A and B are shown apart, each in its own frame.
Chain A
C-alpha cells in the first residue's frame, strides 16, 4: 500500500464520518479536516496524523468527531492514530464545500450565506435574509438567533409557514 494511495484511502474513510448533529454532512463537507499525514510506523503498520480545526469552541460534537476519527482509522488498521487540533485560522463557513450546501438544502436546513455580511456589529437589530429550503421564498423571518445547536439559528417561512433551521454563516 504506497503512501499516496493511503492518503486518498484515509480521505475516503474520513468522508464516511458524519457530523453527529447534521448527519447529511461529512466532516470533509464541513471543512474541519486541515491536514492528513501518513508515515511508516513500527510493526509494519502505517501511522496517521489528522489535523482538525473545531467549528464552535463549545460544540460537543467536536469531541465525538475526534473519537469517531480515531475509531474509524484504527479499525482500518492504521496504528498509531494521532488527532491534532489547530485553532488558527478560525473555522469559517466559507470552508464548507458546495456539495455541503446542496446537502443541507436538500435536508431542509438553509445553507449559510456569505460570511462578511454577518460577523459584525453593524447588523444590530437586523437579520440576514434567508430563503426557505422548502418553498424557496425569501419571505422568511428569524425566530431566534440561537437554534437547537450552536451553529444554527431558527427561522420561519411566512409563505409556506414552515419553521426551519438556518446554518449560521460565521
Chain B
C-alpha cells in the first residue's frame, strides 16, 4: 500500500497542476503563452499517467489509471497544497509553476537514482521536460518581478499567496519516510537547499525578496486539502461521475 500511495502522491501533484494550467486554455495573455502553458499541462498529465499506471499495477485490484484519476474523492488525493491553489492572475500562475518546477527538477534529478527501476525510468524522461518548465516559468518571474510597478505588485501578491505552501514540499509524508528506508522514495528534505538556490537565483534577477520564514501550511500530502480541490475535481471528474464508464 505504501508504494501505491507514494505513486498516487506523485501522480496527483502532476495531474492537479496539469488541470489547473489547462484552465488557461483559450484565456492566455497571448497565443504563444497560451499554448506554452497548455503544453506544460500536456507534459504534466503525461507524467501523471505513467505514475497512475504504475499505481494501478501496484494496487493489483481492478484499479486503472482512469479509475484512480476520476473516481477518488478529495480526501483520497495526495497532492501537495501548492498545486491546487487557484490560477489567480498570470503572475500567480507563473510563480506557482516556477516554485513547483524547481521542486520537480530536483525531485526527478534525485529520483534517477531511486532503488525502483521504473521510477528511475520515469524520472529520466520527465527531467528533460521539467527543465523546459523551469526555464519558461523562471523567465516569467524575472520578467514580471523586474517589470513595471503593476507587474511587480502582482508578483508580490502572488508571493504572499503561495509562499506558505512551499514548506510542505520538503516535509516527507509518512509513506515517503517509510520508502526512504529502502531507497525507493526521494528524501524530499534534502531538496530544500538546491530548491532554494533556484529560487534565490531567479528572485535576485526579479528584484524580489526571498521570504525568510518557511512555508508552514501542510496537509495535502496526507489528504487534508483546501476547499479548492473539491471544485477542481468536480470539474475534472464530471464526465465519469455523470456518465460512469463512458469512453471516447
Beta-carbon contacts under 8 Å, B100-147 to A: 105, 117-118, 120-122, 124-126, 128-129, 131-132, 134-136, 138-139, 142
Evaluate whether A124 and B32 lie within 8 angstroms (CB atoms) in the complex, with A57-B46, A59-B46, A90-B125 already known.
no
B55 in contact (CB, < 8 A): no
Nearest CB in chain A to that of B121: its residue: A87
Are B128 and A170 in contact, with the CB atoms below 8 A? yes
Beta-carbon contacts under 8 Å, B14-57 to A: 32-33, 35-37, 39-47, 49-50
Evaluate whether A57 and B129 lie within 8 angstroms (CB atoms) in the complex, with A121-B135, A145-B135, A145-B136 already known.
yes
**In whole Å, how far is B118's beta carbon from the nearest beta carbon of chain A?**
8
Are A88 and B47 in contact, with the CB atoms below 8 A? no
Evaluate whether A58 and B138 lie within 8 angstroms (CB atoms) in the complex, with A144-B35, A145-B36 already known.
no
Interface residues, chain A, CB within 8 Å of chain B?
54, 56-59, 86-91, 119-121, 123-125, 143-148, 150, 154, 170
Are B129 and A146 in contact, with the CB atoms below 8 A? no
Query: For the complex, what is the distance from the CA of A61 to the CA of B117, rounded to whole Å?
Result: 25
Are A120 and B124 in contact, with the CB atoms below 8 A? no
16 contacts between A and B (CB under 8 A): A56-B42, A56-B43, A57-B46, A57-B50, A57-B126, A58-B43, A87-B121, A87-B125, A88-B121, A123-B135, A124-B138, A125-B139, A144-B35, A145-B36, A148-B35, A170-B128
**In whole Å, how far is A153's beta carbon from the nearest beta carbon of chain B?**
9
Query: For the complex, what is the distance from the CA of A100 to the CA of B39, rounded to whole Å?
Result: 24
- CB neighbours of B41 from chain A (8 A): 58
Interface residues, chain B, CB within 8 Å of chain A?
32-33, 35-37, 39-47, 49-50, 105, 117-118, 120-122, 124-126, 128-129, 131-132, 134-136, 138-139, 142
- CB neighbours of A90 from chain B (8 A): 121, 124-125, 128
Are B135 and A150 in contact, with the CB atoms below 8 A? no
Are A144 and B32 in contact, with the CB atoms below 8 A? yes
Are B135 and A87 in contact, with the CB atoms below 8 A? no
- CB neighbours of B43 from chain A (8 A): 56-58, 150
Evaluate whether A119 and B42 lie within 8 angstroms (CB atoms) in the complex, with A90-B125, A124-B138, A144-B36 already known.
no
Query: For the complex, what is the distance from the CA of A125 to the CA of B128, rounded to whole Å?
Result: 17
- CB neighbours of A146 from chain B (8 A): 32, 35-37, 39-40, 132, 136
- CB neighbours of B129 from chain A (8 A): 56-57, 150
**In whole Å, how far is A88's beta carbon from the nearest beta carbon of chain B?**
4
Are A88 and B44 in contact, with the CB atoms below 8 A? no
- CB neighbours of B33 from chain A (8 A): 144
Query: For the complex, what is the distance from the CA of A58 to the CA of B126, rounded to whole Å?
Result: 10
Query: For the complex, what is the distance from the CA of A57 to the CA of B130, rounded to whole Å?
Result: 11
Query: For the complex, what is the distance from the CA of A89 to the CA of B121, rounded to whole Å?
Result: 7
Nearest CB in chain A to that of B124: its residue: A90
- CB neighbours of B44 from chain A (8 A): 58
Evaluate whether A150 and B39 lie within 8 angstroms (CB atoms) in the complex, with A121-B135, A123-B135, A145-B136 already known.
yes
